[in-house]
Structure 1
Amino acid sequence: MDIDTLRGWIGRSETATEDLTPALIARYGATLGQPDTAAPLLIHLCLTQPAVPAAELGPDGHPARGGFLPPVPLPRRMWAGGQFDFHRPLRVGGRVTRQSTIRDVVLKQGRSGALCFVTVDHLISDPDGLAITERQDIVYRGAAGDGPASAPAPAEPGAHHKSIAADPPLLFRYSALTFNGHRIHYDRSYATDVEGYPGLIVHGPLQATLLVHYAADLRGAPPARFRFRSLSPLFDTADMVLNARDTAEGMELWTMRPGGPVAMQASASW
């Protein structure tokens, strides 16, 4: 892997715009069980996504590599984590602009082999100005079976916990909302036969969205900052459990399957 060439993508930027319509908010609310009276947290992830023609998709359903994101020559790409700073709600009916810049490209060695991390900064604004600052961490890794795997320890339940059915309709509808063609979320034969997973994978952005809404519901107010990191995958073979506990700094949150390890770890502050 020519890391110097890949690091040549650092500093690249792109800008996209899209209107935040009441219809999108209604579909978002119907999918996630949220009220549709205002712009909900993280609905911007459903906006300004690349509309790539089918002929330009890779075999995994993602856009073919080498456009805005660097052409990392590793087959698996996932959202590894990130951070959101919420400055104010987006305006319903407003034109939303996302300005994206590649901040860093780093090659690391993990237990299962090479890992390439790409960090992207997003500035989300509308006619009223900057609304959200986002850092997105993307990880590229080898194919299934590359290197040893270890079984993480089961997670403890939180002081607050809530089960959600991670079923195919939820995963399919969220893929549609975010115009996400990644086949591991809706194509079971691809997920199991090609990538070797035991079932459909629950989106990282979906887990982050459910956790940030859970934090807001528990505290009675949306957080000012939300950080998260993906540690292990969740599948549609079991319910997804949202967990939370209060801390001196705000709230710690995590997802898991019943009896399973932490899948996504997060923190919220107000």
Structure 2
Amino acid sequence: MWAGGSMIWSETNSLRVGSPVTQALSIPRVEHKKGMVFVHQQRVLYPGIQETASADGWALKETRIHVFRAAQQAVDPVASADPSLAHSSHSHLDARANRDDDAPYRFSYTPTSPLLFLYSALTHNPHKIHYDQCWSIGKEGQRGPLVHGPLTATLLVELAGQVESKKLKEFNYRATSPKVLDEEIRMTGRWSEDGMLMLEAKQGFKVGMKATATFV
């Protein structure tokens, strides 16, 4: 599972479409928590072809946090369902959900099966939980195929990109609950008192991802 991560953009170096890029990959940290393994993967991207990594020549630093757990037996999707989701249909998006309308930055979309399949192909992700209904419900105990964490993070980065006259410097995100297809996801961005953009991706009344963005 994709638990979260961060991205930092250089203020001086950039990556250009059509130009070579060098990537350095490392695993600086592995944690064991409650029967799960958290793997921190760091990727540093440099413009051009680099034989050796330099301290100041990077353009993008990315950290990805993946969670691994032991395989589980087939589960009863009814017994394992989250009771808080029992009334999460669109008809129950009452006035509380409308509070998202006052966010200065917002975006909504409904993930579909073709979208998740194409994103799996684009990112070379063969995990069946994103496109196989029977597997997602019968094997994983979910309500249906799950939306990719990186897809949500990418859309939140794009939402942060709506900020005018500022350049994105750092983006940190954390997945908090799974999101399924065919149900609207609402993304919002609000400024904190200290000038940080606070971002959320929400499905129903449940926040599926939280993120922060800082600018220069």
Distance 1:219-1:182 versus aligned 2 partners, 3 A rule = farther
Q: Which residue of 2 aligns with 1:139?
A: 67
TM-score normalized with structure 2 length: 0.77
Distance in 1 between residues matched to 2:188 and 2:166, nearest whole Å: 17
1:122-133 mapped onto 2 (5 Å cutoff) = 122-127=43-48, 129-133=57-61
Cα deviation for residue 205 of structure 1 reads 0.4
After superposition, residues 210-221 of structure 1 pair within 5 angstroms as: 210-221=155-166
Q: Determine whether 1:189 maps to 2:134.
A: yes
Partner secondary structure for residue 229 of structure 1: strand
Aligned counterparts, 1:167-206, within 5 A: 167-206=112-151
C-alpha spacing 1:89/1:213, structure 2 compared with 1 (3 Å): farther
Q: What is the alpha-carbon distance in structure 2 between the residues aligned to residue 173 and residue 127 of structure 1?
A: 29
Partner amino acid, structure 1, of 2:69: R
Q: CA–CA distance in 2 between the matches of 1:211 and 1:222? A: 15
Q: Give the Å deviation of 1:95.
A: 1.9
Instruction: Identify unmatched segments of 5+ residues in structure 2.
Output: 50-56, 86-95
Aligned-partner Cα distance in 2 for 1:203–1:187: 13
How far apart are the structure 1 equivalents of 2:106 and 2:84? 20
- Indicate the RMSD between aligned Cα atoms, in angstroms: 2.5
Question: Deviation string for 1:104-133 (max 9, x for gaps)?
Answer: 111112xxxx22111111111221842100
* Identity, % of aligned positions: 34
What is the CA deviation profile of residues 42-91 of structure 1, one whole-angstrom value per residue up to 9, with x for unaligned ones?
xxxxxxxxxxxxxxxxxxxxxxxxxxxxxxxxxxxx11111100114311
Query: Is 1:95–2:28 an aligned residue pair?
Result: no
Query: One-letter code of the match for 1:81?
Result: G
Query: CA 1:92/1:107 → structure 2, altered by over 3 Å: closer, same or farther?
Result: same
Q: What displacement does 1:93 show?
A: 0.7
Equivalent residue, structure 2, for 1:235: 180
Whole-Å separation in 2 of the counterparts to 1:98 and 1:252: 29
CA-CA distance at 1:150 after TM superposition: 7.1
**Contiguous gaps of at least 5 residues in structure 1:** 1-77
Q: Displacement, 1:149?
A: 8.8
CA deviation profile, 1:187-212 (whole Å, cap 9, x unmatched):
22211222121111110100000001
Aligned partners of 2:47, 2:203: CA distance in 1, in Å?
37
Deviation at 1:141, TM superposition (A): 2.7
> Does 1:254 pair with 2:182?
no
Whether the 8 Å CA contact 1:116–1:140 is kept in 2: the answer is: yes
Structure-1-length-normalised TM-score: 0.62
CA displacement at 1:97 relative to structure 2: 2.2
Tell me the matched-pair count.
186
